[in-house]
Structure 1
Amino acid sequence: MAAIMIVDDTAFIRGMLREILERAGHQVVFEATNGEEAVRGYHTYKPDLVTMDITMPYMDGVDALKAIVCRHPAAKVVMCSAMGLQPRIIEAVQAGAKDFILKPFRAERILEAIDKVIYN
């Protein structure tokens, strides 16, 4: 079981991820709706893993990833993105993202990415 923080500005996506993760035995320790909340939440909860949307208000996911990794280089972040954002995904991986998941989500792909990042 891993302690996971979900970061997405869409309540439906956060709920779907929570359900998939909790059904698999993981604990969702915090949900953030933008990058600023994500950075504060990471410092407070220090989760085992973060799922991070790329496109969000106030601070996007790539900037939040960079801020988290700057202070916590061992942070494990899996980026979530819709098709068509490949340049941002590449930037996120170069900034320290451990994997990425394309929307729309498939439960199997989410759990595969999380297992790969946490246990490898």
Structure 2
Amino acid sequence: MANILVVDDAAFMRMMIKDILSKNGYNVVGEGENGVKAIEKYKELKPDLVLMDITMPEMDGIQALKEIRAFDPAAKIVMCSAMGQQGMVIEAIQSGARDFIVKPFQADRILEAVKKVLG
């Protein structure tokens, strides 16, 4: 069973994602509400995959993505973001994100990305 870290500044969004993942046999090992927490939790929990929002307070998802990848170049990170942030999508992919999910998303899209990235 894959261990997943969910990072989003909206608690309801984390809950929704957690729900989708756990109903489909994934283990949500931790969650965070900003990039700083994402890095801390990644180092502590060493998850198989991180699902992370881009727009967050304190440190955004792109910065956190870069720092996690610097710490662990093999880190598997899927970014989530609202519509119309194409520039950020490109930066996220260039910075090493494995996939990108646009909000509002369907449960199927999350599961498809997770399966694809975890192989």
Counterpart of 2:37 in structure 1 is 37
TM-score, with normalisation over the residues of structure 2? 0.99
The runs of 4+ residues in structure 1 deviating greater than 2 Å are none
Deviations 1:22-57 (A, max 9, x none): 000000000000000000000000100000000000
Alignment length, in residue pairs?
119
Q: Name the SS for the 2:28 alignment partner.
A: strand
Matches within 5 A, 1:52-67: 52-67=52-67
Provide the identity percentage: 59
- Structure 1: give runs of 5+ residues left out of the alignment: none
Counterpart of 1:28 in structure 2 is 28
Q: Distance in 2 between matches of 1:18 and 1:93?
A: 23
Q: Name the SS for the 1:6 alignment partner.
A: strand
- Structure 2: give runs of 5+ residues left out of the alignment: none
CA-based RMSD of the aligned residues comes to 0.4
Q: Distance in 1 between matches of 2:30 and 2:23?
A: 16
TM-score, with normalisation over the residues of structure 1? 0.98
Q: Distance in 2 between matches of 1:53 and 1:64?
A: 10
